Amino acid sequence: MLRDRFGRSIEYLRLSVTDRCDLRCTYCMPTGFKDFEEPGDWLTFDEIERLLRAFARLGTRRVRLTGGEPLLRRHVTSLATRIAAIEGIDDLSMSTNATQLRRHAQALRLAGVKRLNVSLDSLDQACMRSITGRDSHAQVMDGIMAGKEAGFDPIKINMVAMRGVNDGEIDRMAEFCIKHGFVLRLIEVMPMGQTGRNSAYLDLQPVRARLQQRFDLVPQALELGGGPARYLATRDGRSNIGFITPLSQHFCATCNRVRLSVDGTLYMCLGQEEKFEFRPLLRGGASDAELEAAIREAIELKPQMHEFSARPEKIIRFMSQTGG
């Protein structure tokens, strides 16, 4: 089992398969941004599989496919099939904006993807257009329902809550998720890059108290996917509402994950700069033993906690460059 300097078990890898996206969410990627990684610098599927096998031998059990928008990577379902077959990896999931999900939902399910996280910041067409930069509402909603039809369970709806932007819709979003049996996850915006710092932060602690009272929610002790959310559940157990609060109540002490970007850079923390580049090793003839030693060396770089509150200006890279 991989453990960092602070005794945390690191068993969760978030794998970005592309930094491209067909949306431009205001907190994630700057309008007009074109400085994407060149395809020649992307890890190939063979390189990804080899590196993930090394992670799995060291105890990694969970992998989430992310982006950008992962469904923009050609043949990503074949990659999912390869990852799902790796011995030791027993939880393969995907984060998506759902614009392409209608076309891929069934194939992803057959490939071995077990769960979906869908970014949905608003149920209002105009508000969604303002946040995402395009009229994506109908396409996203259709994609979510395609995921439900394909049998994905749970489907987690990720809503980045922003003061004065979509905070008036939180109760409506909760009602929508409860109705359909989805898991709502409310997320505090993180000051990653200028895009994140320009977004209006909303403290979710008062929101949590309000929703708990309105919907008669009870604390949820069950583990739901290994991520950082703290959950409340409806009394009938049909739905859950999670709160991801990196600023108002951080979860650094229990952080169990690292992020691998499309170019093979492993980031240890969203709110710090520590990283390790694996592409040179993969393309330079490194042995399996050398890869495993490099992974252990990289995990030793993982910091104790982020500095989003103390130094919000520190992180220049924005979310889509790191991976979701």
Q: What's the predicted TM-score (pTM) here?
A: 0.92
Q: Which domain holds residue 76?
A: 12-322
Q: Burial, 135: exposed, middle or buried (Cβ in 10 Å; 0-12, 13-18, 19+)?
A: exposed
Q: Going edge to edge, which strands form the sheet with 275-277?
A: 218-219, 230-233, 240-244, 183-188, 155-161, 115-119, 91-96, 62-66, 12-16, 257-260, 265-267, 275-277
Say if 1 falls within a structural domain: no
Say if 287 falls within a structural domain: yes
Say if 3 falls within a structural domain: no
Q: Provide the pLDDT for residue 238.
A: 85
Structural domains counted in the chain:
1
Q: Provide the pLDDT for residue 271.
A: 78
205: CATH: 3.20.20.70
Say if 6 falls within a structural domain: no
Q: Peptide bond before 68: cis, by omega within 30 degrees of 0?
A: yes
Say if 98 falls within a structural domain: yes
Say if 5 falls within a structural domain: no
The upper half-sphere exposure of residue 13, i.e. CA atoms within 13 Å in the direction of its Cβ, equals 31
Say if 7 falls within a structural domain: no
Say if 62 falls within a structural domain: yes
pLDDT means per 10 residues, the chain with 324 residues, are 94 96 88 86 98 98 97 98 98 98 98 97 97 95 98 96 96 96 93 60 94 94 76 91 86 90 94 91 98 98 75 57 68
